[in-house]
Amino acid sequence: MSVIEVTHLRKRYGDLVAVDDVSFAVEPGEIFGILGPNGAGKTTTVECVAGLRVPDGGGVSVLGLDPRRDAAQLRQRVGVQLQESQLPDRLRVAEALELYASFYRNPADPAALMDRLGLGEKRNTAYKKLSGGQKQRLSIALALVGNPEIAILDELTTGLDPQARRDTWGLIEQVRDSGVTIVLVTHFMEEAERLCDRVAVIDRGLVVALDSPAGLVSRVAPEQRIRFRPSAPVDDRLLSDLPEVSAVQRTGSQVVVTGTGDLLHAVTSVLARHQIVAADLRLEQSTLDDAFVELTGHRPVD
């Protein structure tokens, strides 16, 4: 059974349709990504899931419950990190975590959580004095301090440096491994590729694709390209006869083969059979970036 089900969700702000028609289901234990350009309706969607906004249409069910009607129950079981939400300037890290921990029936240990998020040394630092990345990590910690079954993280690593971003990914994987289902709103393709089991791409309030990151890439931009310099002359037809190959071009001494499927294996084995060595071999694959551009017509930020 899905832990989150969103069906034909619709949400307007006055005349502006922020979410037009969004449906997806999140399975237990997965990391579900929500990707999309600025203003696509990602935050609005997860805020409806978190029960912070009332949808104008469609249905949302979380852990089999209604986010508005069963809000009291769900707040114990769902942790939320909001995209734009700060804390009082003078509140210290440990105070914030201990305060939030006190709201839950079965909280995590604030001290352990601080250590896991690299905030141990900052425990007595006021919120105002934290760096952007430290604020972000505190925000993640607050979403996890209730030991939630579902964590909704909006813009998890925005504002973090590359190292902190990787550390946070490691942390999220640990959290997932402990059985928490995670909904992750992100702008970073690398993050989605690394973390997400499945991704919904939202554009202008609509789901334009829903698949695994690899699935999205191969569906939208399946082309792969191999470049190499053959050690001996190769007949083009040797390569173009392969079912995986769609085109063979030459630029100087270089051969460029484009195609789909298991292209690399097909090309290298046919070359090996003819005792040709492929020097300077490079495989260029489409990435989630390309898929994103293809799907939304926008360059992803970063």
Residues at the interface with another protein (CB under 8 A): 50, 52, 72, 75-76, 78-80, 82, 84-88, 90-91, 95, 99-100, 102-104, 142, 146
157, 136 contact by CB (below 8 A)? yes
User: β-strands 150-154, 78-81: how paired?
Assistant: parallel
From candidates 7, 83, 131, 254, binder to Mg ion by CB under 5 A: 83
Given the rule CB under 5 A, which of 40-48, 101-109, 128-136, 157-165 is the region that contacts Mg ion?
Answer: 40-48
Given the rule CB under 5 A, which of 76-84, 143-151, 159-167, 242-250 is the region that contacts Mg ion?
Answer: 76-84
Mutual angle of helices 93-101 and 132-144, in 10-degree steps: 20
Query: Which residue's beta carbon is nearest to the bound ligand ATP?
Result: 43
Whichever of 127 and 188 has its CB closer to ligand ATP, that residue is 188
What does the alpha-carbon distance between residue 18 and residue 21 come to, in Å, rounded to a whole number? 10
| Binding residues vs ligand ATP (CB under 6 A) | 13, 16, 18, 36, 38-44, 83
Whichever of 6 and 266 has its CB closer to ligand ATP, that residue is 6
Q: Say if residue 253 is exposed, middle or buried (CB neighbours under 10 Å; 0-12, 13-18, 19+).
A: exposed
203, 171 contact by CB (below 8 A)? no
Q: How far is the CB of 202 from ligand ATP (least distance, A)?
A: 7
From candidates 3, 33, 34, 43, binder to Mg ion by CB under 5 A: 43
Whichever of 75 and 219 has its CB closer to another protein, that residue is 75
Three-state secondary structure of 230-275: ECCCCCHHHHHCCCCEEEEEEECCEEEEEECCCHHHHHHHHHHHCC
Q: How far is the CB of 288 from ligand ATP (least distance, A)?
A: 16
Structure tokens at 155: 């813009």
